[in-house]
Structure 1
Amino acid sequence: MIDNLAAYHFVAIDDPTAVADWLRALAEAGELRGTVLVAPEGINLFLAGRVEAIDTLVDAVRADPRFATLQIKRSRSEAVPFARLKVKVKSEIISFRRPDAMPLAAPARAPDVAPEDLARWIAQGHDDAGRRLVLLDTRNREEVAHGSFAGALTLPIDNFTELPDALVPHRDALRDATVVSFCTGGIRCEKAALWMRADGMNNVLQLDGGILGYFERVGGFGYDGRCFVFDDRVALDPALRPLHDGVEAA
């Protein structure tokens, strides 16, 4: 059985190339495949391999004080859903190109809502203060096609950088709602929530851990379909089972 790791962490990195080389060495030592992104704002990991190898890498990464609080999401598959290991140094670990959405520059992380609380709000039809609830999908149309929260506001975007312009026609209609932004694992909705709050939308929260965190802690309540993932499994159902179980390359 193969273990699949997804994790990101925003933290200042003065030496992204050195960190990338270190992560590459850790991944290669465990014969892991997947994608590692390193930027001055943090790290973003999608890796797969033996359970013991994933454990070893996570322990080594968390031993570095910069990544001690790294939060991870894990799922299983029959085969490795990546053809090879890719390690890249980027300007952002998720490109948004909005200086007012940089977590390290913000005075605080955008407020979040726990999956268990969101499930309760969905069941109620409003938040705990009685405000109507709007779920905002920050993913692109290809991802949304595999599934989303029932009744969520989805946007006709192909890239995350298009989200601000696509949101403009909806802003007035969102003013009296509690808006919960969500994405696959949390990284995009974290930046999106920061940008929206900086842009005057103080009624925006982010779903802690994204869809995968919701599946892990709550299941599929209120969600229709599967969650697209960025590997050969294509999409995961609320039990974190893949649509396609990636086939190892020869």
Structure 2
Amino acid sequence: MISGHFTSAARGGVVTGWSLAFPPGTHAGRLHPLIALHGRGGTHRDSFDGSLHLDRYLAALSSAGHPPFAIASVDGGDHGYWHPRQDSDPAAMVLNEFLPLLAGQGLDTSRIAFLGWSMGGYEALYLAGRLGAGRVAAAAAESPALWRSGSQSAAGAFDDVADFDRHAIFGRLNLLSGIALRIDCGDRDGFAPITRDLRAALDPTPAGGIEPGGHDAGFWRSQAQAQLSFVGRHLAS
């Protein structure tokens, strides 16, 4: 487990923290990374010692013989929703600054995957569509923060209605073609109805589903092992 920080030009000069978890043991060849994207109000630490402890699930899967990969997390801002904004572009930070940083750490970034929850669940789908199936093996979205219109979205999530329309997931579903998808949401989560709509709109139907739970770290941890196993299979294929 290693951590660091860099000054992100794409985020307007903000000092941006990151963490990187490797599976235990030695592995032949360079590992592919899963990029973990935090929710609103979170930081890169949420993926690991902050709340989700994804490194522990990664270690357990690796010890059980599952294909190895690394998990990398990075700060995306409190409520920027990880897409291009008027004063910041966290999506460009991930693609143009963080991925090269990971390559410098010895990872093979020619093939990657995304995992995110809530705000980060939206971004996992957004960035997967932006890069496409040629680069992205899989995307896993937990309780994705989605809305049908800009007027319904959370305060500060988008600059305006036009910003929402440019970056709405329902307007970009064709871009996810060929990418292995897993989408989960708790049945007591306020995003459950739109998650059902999203799953129904995608062909083939994504893995995962609507399971017992709410919009919280307890539910996200309950899905972590299955989601990491899903991602690992597709990164290795």
Q: What is the TM-score normalised by the length of structure 1?
A: 0.28
Which structure features the higher share of strand residues? 1
Q: What is the TM-score normalised by the length of structure 2?
A: 0.29
